[in-house]
Amino acid sequence: MKTNYREALRMALREALASDPRVFLMGEDVGRYGGSYAVSKGLLDEFGPERVRDTPLSELGFVGAGVGAALGGMRPIVEIMTVNFSLLAMDQIVNGAATLRHMSGGQLHVPLVIRMATGAGRQLAAQHSHSFEGWYAHVPGLRVLAPATLSDARGMLAPALACPDPVILFEHVRLYNLEGELEDDPDAWRCDIRSAAVRRVGDAVTLVAYGGSLLRAMEAAEQLSDEGIEAEVIDLRVLRPLDVAPLLDSVHKTHRAVVVDEGWKSGSLSAEIVARLMEGAFYDLDAPVARVCSEEVPMPYALPLEEAVLPQPAKIVTAVKELMGRK
């Protein structure tokens, strides 16, 4: 069926609420307003205010309430409006939810799902547009997901709710309007939350991406194909724990890699991926691993400047050609 990323997320939320009375959704404007990105539109009317709860504007408060509800046996889905605002709840996420299973010797579990919008591309300026996925992927005790396709948007929530550990689900703002076909057969979109995915097969270079950067990598791969360079594209999907095996298998074949990451280069997730490739595939590489990241500035508001800061297909194509000694 024809649908979009936003509707795929809504389908997953509706299924979760309908199938398990322990599940409820909470966050700023998720109820009457229908969510800042319209993902939860209509769910309040369908499930009522006990299951779809508008919260005060306090990330520290309502994320903490979600942690408590999860400890009490519920299956809360907490929506944080944008990743920048999640920093106000960092203590609850990193010092609380991520540590309790370990500190209790396995006696406590925090089956909490936190959804949040991330990334740039919609002229929302510096306080609403950054990509902090790598910060959370650094933390043991969390599972970090970045669905970049309709099928993953539809299929990742159920296994996330079944996970005994807190799961953070990053939804890139440029993907909400992404349209495409979603199979009616659930087996086509049901997925695990452990594995990376090969989105395009090639033998000349490996492109590693996730979230909103996947579309840019795929576009760059098509441009490269027109010039006779067949790129293999790996969608990380799961940022913690990283599934490195598909990356190593690809580099064993292509002997070159470019990592595309909307985060800043310094201290980024891309740096970790490069290190893993160097540790596991150093002797297979014919050139140093390259990176295409956002420029190291706060995200501008003006559209031309925002576009200039972000990893674009042209930048990826240029990086691949430089890696291969082509102009």
Q: What is the CATH number of the domain that holds 283?
A: 3.40.50.920
78 in the same domain as 122: yes
CB count in 10 Å sphere of residue 308: 13
* Catalytic-role residue among 7, 28, 128, 171: 128
Domain boundary among 188, 220, 243: 188
Do 260 and 168 belong to one domain? no
Task: Identify which of 210, 158, 218 has the alpha carbon closest to the alpha carbon of residue 187.
Answer: 158
Q: Considering the entire predicted model, what is its pTM?
A: 0.95
On whether both 160 and 237 belong to a single domain, the answer is no
Same domain (yes/no): 125, 227: no
- Total of domains in the chain: 2
Annotation says 322 is catalytic: no
Q: Which of 171, 169, 154 is nearest to 10 (CA)?
A: 154
Mean pLDDT of 23-36: 96
- β-pairing, 205-209 with 257-264? parallel
Tokens representing 201 are 């097969």
The token duo for 292 is: 């295409």
Which residue type occupies 3?
A: T
DSSP H helices in 78-163: 83-86, 90, 100-103, 133-137, 150-155, 157-162
Which of 188, 223, 255 is a domain's end point?
A: 188
Question: What does the buried/exposed string (b/e) look like for 9-46 if buried means 16 or more CB atoms within 10 Å of the residue's CB?
Answer: bbbbbeebbeeeeebbbbbbbbbeebbbbebbeebbee
In the annotation, is 172 catalytic? no
Domain interval for residue 169 = 2-188
CATH number of the domain where residue 126 is located? 3.40.50.970
58 and 137 in a common domain: yes
Taking only the tens place, the pLDDT of each residue in 62-119 is: 999 999 999 999 999 999 999 999 999 999 999 999 999 999 999 999 999 999 999 9
Q: Give pLDDT tens digits for 139-188.
A: 999 999 999 999 999 999 999 999 999 999 999 999 999 999 998 888 88
Domain shared by 159 and 303, yes or no: no
For 201-225, what is the mean pLDDT?
Answer: 97
Of 30, 98, 105, the C-alpha closest to 70 is: 98
Q: Are residues 147 and 13 in the same domain?
A: yes
Q: Which of 28, 59, 171, 306 is catalytic?
A: 59
Query: Which amino acid, 203?
Result: D
